[in-house]
Amino acid sequence: MPPLITLTTDFGLSDVYVGVMKGVIFGVCPDARVIDLTHGIPAQNLIAGSLALESAIPYFPAGTIHTVVVDPGVGSDRNIVIVRTESSLFVAPDNGVLTLPLILQPPKEMIKLTEAASPFLRQPVSATFHGRDVFAPVAAHLANGMPLSSLGSPCAISEVISIPVPKVEISEMNDLIELRAPILAADHFGNLVTALRRDALDSLCASVASEAPRESEVEVRVKSAIWTGVAKTFASAPVGAPVAYFGSGGRLEVAVRNGSAVMTLEALAGDFVSLQWKSKTAQ
Amino acid sequence: MPPLITLTTDFGLSDVYVGVMKGVIFGVCPDARVIDLTHGIPAQNLIAGSLALESAIPYFPAGTIHTVVVDPGVGSDRNIVIVRTESSLFVAPDNGVLTLPLILQPPKEMIKLTEAASPFLRQPVSATFHGRDVFAPVAAHLANGMPLSSLGSPCAISEVISIPVPKVEISEMNDLIELRAPILAADHFGNLVTALRRDALDSLCASVASEAPRESEVEVRVKSAIWTGVAKTFASAPVGAPVAYFGSGGRLEVAVRNGSAVMTLEALAGDFVSLQWKSKTAQ
Amino acid sequence: MPPLITLTTDFGLSDVYVGVMKGVIFGVCPDARVIDLTHGIPAQNLIAGSLALESAIPYFPAGTIHTVVVDPGVGSDRNIVIVRTESSLFVAPDNGVLTLPLILQPPKEMIKLTEAASPFLRQPVSATFHGRDVFAPVAAHLANGMPLSSLGSPCAISEVISIPVPKVEISEMNDLIELRAPILAADHFGNLVTALRRDALDSLCASVASEAPRESEVEVRVKSAIWTGVAKTFASAPVGAPVAYFGSGGRLEVAVRNGSAVMTLEALAGDFVSLQWKSKTAQ
């Protein structure tokens, strides 16, 4: 099976940057398959990059090399890390962009790039385009089977930078349970993606001695909009109406059927989706 | 020759959706070549998807698998069909998006996906992202040579959904023949694509006992603009002037040289391009 | 090693044009790897296409075939050329779009497409989409190893069209040296790319009997903005401040850290970046 390399950047597709990275990769590893995960990460938006990776990596074959160039610190002295998990390799700046994917796939081995990597980089390394001179050749050498130890020195997960991810809060008052899920990002359709992962719902509810609510009985609020029920899919909502559902990435999302939740609800990253339901223990 | 899979969606390129579909495909069929036909179909626009496929499929090698995810009904009970034509395989929702390509390439074999396909889908199948959980793995298994019969049950062309395609009308009055070609869509350059296919022109003219007109003698109208002549190419028009020609997809198009016909003529899908010429039989 | 073909066009990614070119390529050369250099060249902008190629080609393996369809003259009688350099093959309209890459990589062999190429084109050749009917099949046949002589007749570099590239001017007055670098284009981040190549700096300075200046002592002006110093990278500037540096493509660029130089400085192609420094011979 040919080695798979994915690219995630904030380069956009108007310029040659992405194409140039592929030229470098094929020069080092002619057999590689290169997949564009996305080049539409909003400029230097680490949380958006982290969410994009989280929602994508479970669907790639074991051994895939994920190359991440969302890198506001290029040219500064930030580190570059290579992380091996049970099923993936990541090459990324040490700026927290790997925070969410490494919760999903805990690190098994981790190195920081050192001078040892120099012979494998494109020389001279430019100050502004490490995607071409560092990330692309490193990913391609990894695709060729180079061991991590040839490229740097081991480091511990505690040594690398994490970004703070807004947390879901749950509270109980007067028999009413409220869960507040911060909105983390919006996608191309204007759907809102929140901090609430479905697989965290049970333990959140347990923390207030509740069970997970019936989806049909939950009251959902986003800014001034209120409606009842978490749906299986946005297809179940009337056209133009808001709908909450657990999206394909496993997170609570809010959409407007055949429309944009960003526009209709005037909601953005930093706002909240609130879920309220009656406590069963109180019934 | 490695199997070719094309992707046509309305996902855009800002998110990871397209990259994730490729991850799933390569996990099932590592040898596949995946080509992006376009991910810029306007959201849920079936006629635009159908036109895109019609203009592209004649140029792909025999055996290409065309995967179409323009799917406003995802999560509802719409069917998914696999269609074999003489030179292609199509995997698409049964919503009419295949209407135009199947006029060009008539179906030889056709199935609706059934429970039989379950072992080959990504489980659990999400309610919102069938591109990842259904279309991608089905296309990849077909690329591996899986027979259609392993994935569903046969159905007849008459059982599947077609979309109504606006029809070209031709009429004769007072020695003048008028052909009205509805505008179906506009492309990235602002060129207008109409319902009139060049290969239908002779039979349309025969229906009013005329011959096809001389291209230089045709009067063309789009909204309030009028000019004379159907050209070989938009390059023959002066900069800024409108020009009608049969485009690379075989359909009558209207462009504005070095400009946008959408903007200059204020014309859109639903408007008409009118061609008028003097009846020869009347001369 | 599989043959590499790159594509550079002004087609955008909303339509199927690029996908169709790949279908044609794989039909002729199933082993080819096709890389999108960019499809975001502003419509028919030859200088932007030329700059894109210049900044990309040094990073591709020897033998790469660069296919360029920035072609305002499609359908007219402009020629199509194939150029072999020491490390690349180019297929492009003869309209000057190769001007900058051919300064970087001088031609070794050059032909104009003639009737001899007819059997290798998609017939009938349309008047509007030579990308599909001419450029794609020619690139694919070259990838299969077809000799240039099978496709046309030799021509000299002096016979092909060049575009005038705005020149850097250097002058000395009153112990002050001023270098005026025309802005050629802006990239996706709003960074301004100028006509000044780093590797030309020494000879430019020598022409006024100066040495290259110390980067920290240069006064930089763009329209009404003035600041001191050419930096190693945009990362060294405060957020929101303009910064001049030699970019990853080897040219002097001006950026605004975490912003857009186009917007902040209100500068565009046709404006100048001025560098001034004190003559050392005068000190």
**Residue C69 in this model has a pLDDT that exceeds 90:** yes
| β-bridge pairing B107-113 and B80-85 | antiparallel
- Can you give the pLDDT at residue A281? 57
Chain C closest CA to B121's CA: distance in Å?
A: 26
For chain B, say whether C73 makes contact (Cβ under 8 Å): yes
Q: Average the pLDDT over each of A3-7, A234-238, B121-125, B189-193 and give the range with the smallest value.
A: A234-238
Confidence of residue B282 (pLDDT cuts 50, 70, 90): very low
Q: Which two tokens stand for residue C17?
A: 């044009």
Phi, psi dihedral angles at B58 (to 5 degrees):
-65, -15
User: Hey, how many other C-beta atoms are within 10 angstroms of the C-beta on C209?
Assistant: 11
Average pLDDT over residues B204-225: 90
How far apart CA C272 and CA C192 sit, in angstroms, is: 10
Least CB–CB distance from A16: residue in C56, C236, C247:
C56
Q: What is the pLDDT of residue C264?
A: 95
B263: left (phi over 0), alpha (psi -120 to 50) or beta: alpha
Asked if A4's CB is within 8 angstroms of B26's CB, the reply is: yes
Distance CA A192, CA A245 (A): 10
C-chain CB neighbours of B233 within 8 Å are: 74-75, 127-128
- pTM metric for this prediction: 0.93
Under a CB-based contact definition with an 8 Å cutoff, are residues A110 and A157 in contact? yes
Q: Residue A140: pLDDT above 70?
A: yes
Residue A63 touches partner B, C-beta closer than 8 Å: no
User: For residue C57, what pLDDT band results from cuts at 50, 70 and 90?
Assistant: very high
For B98-104, what is the mean pLDDT?
Answer: 95
Distance, in Å, from the CA atom of A225 to the CA atom of A243, rounded to the nearest integer, reads: 11
Q: β-strands B64-69, B4-9: how paired?
A: parallel
Q: C38 in contact with A at a CB cutoff of 8 Å?
A: yes
What pLDDT does residue B248 have? 86
Name the 3-class secondary structure at A60. coil
Mean pLDDT of C41-55: 91
Q: How many Å lie between the alpha carbon of B46 and the closest alpha carbon of chain A?
A: 14
**pLDDT greater than 90 at residue B210:** no
State residue A127's pLDDT score. 84
pLDDT at B46: 93
Neighbours of chain A (3+ CB pairs under 8 A): B, C
pLDDT at residue B36 greater than cutoff 70: yes
CA dihedral sign of residues C105, C109, C113, C117? negative
Task: Give residue-wise pLDDT tens across range A84-100.
Answer: 999 999 999 999 999 99
pLDDT band at residue A195 under the 50/70/90 scheme: very high
Question: What distance in Å separates the CA atoms of residue A41 and residue A38, rounded to the nearest whole number?
Answer: 7
The confidence score (pLDDT) of residue B281 equals 57
Q: Touching check for C11 and chain B: CB below 8 Å?
A: yes
Query: A127, C235: Cβ pair inside 8 Å?
Result: yes
Mutate to test the interface with C, among A5, A10, A16 (most CBs of C within 10 A): A16
Q: Which chains touch B (3 or more CB pairs under 8 A)?
A: A, C
Interchain CB distance below 8 Å, B26 and A189: no
What per-residue confidence (pLDDT) applies to C189?
79
Number of H helices, E strands in chain B: 7, 16
Contact check, Cβ <8 Å, A37/B19: yes
Residue of B nearest to A12 (CA): B14
Query: What mean pLDDT value characterizes chain B?
Result: 92
Three-state DSSP class for residue C275: strand
Whether residue A188 lies within 8 A of chain B, CB to CB, comes out as: yes
Please give the sequence-ordered ranges of beta strands (E in DSSP) within chain B, or none if there are none: 4-9, 33-38, 64-69, 80-85, 88-93, 107-113, 152-154, 169-173, 176-186, 192-197, 219-222, 225-228, 230-231, 242-246, 251-256, 272-278
Cβ distance C38 to A13 less than 8 Å, yes or no, reads: yes
Q: Which of A2, A38, A234 sits opposite B19 (nearest CB)?
A: A38
Q: How confident is the model at residue A252 (pLDDT cuts 50, 70, 90)?
A: very high
Angle at C41 between CA C39 and CA C47, to 5 degrees: 145
Is it the case that residue B233 has pLDDT exceeding 90? no
Minimum distance, in Å, between the CA of residue A41 and any CA atom of chain C: 13
pLDDT of residue C281: 57
Please tell me the distance in Å from C114's CA to the nearest CA on chain A. Answer: 31
- pLDDT at position B225 over 80: yes
More confident position, B281 or B1: B1
Average pLDDT, chain C: 92
Tens of pLDDT along A222-243? 999 999 999 987 777 888 899 9
Q: Tell me: the pLDDT tens digits for C89-144?
A: 999 999 999 999 999 999 999 999 999 999 999 999 998 899 999 999 999 999 99
Closest Cα to residue B233, out of B209, B255, B261, B258?
B255
What confidence tier does A283 reach under pLDDT thresholds 50, 70, 90?
very low
Say whether A37 and B30 touch across the interface (CB within 8 A): no
C55 contact A CB<8A: yes
**Closest in B56, B188, B233 to C75, CB measured:** B233
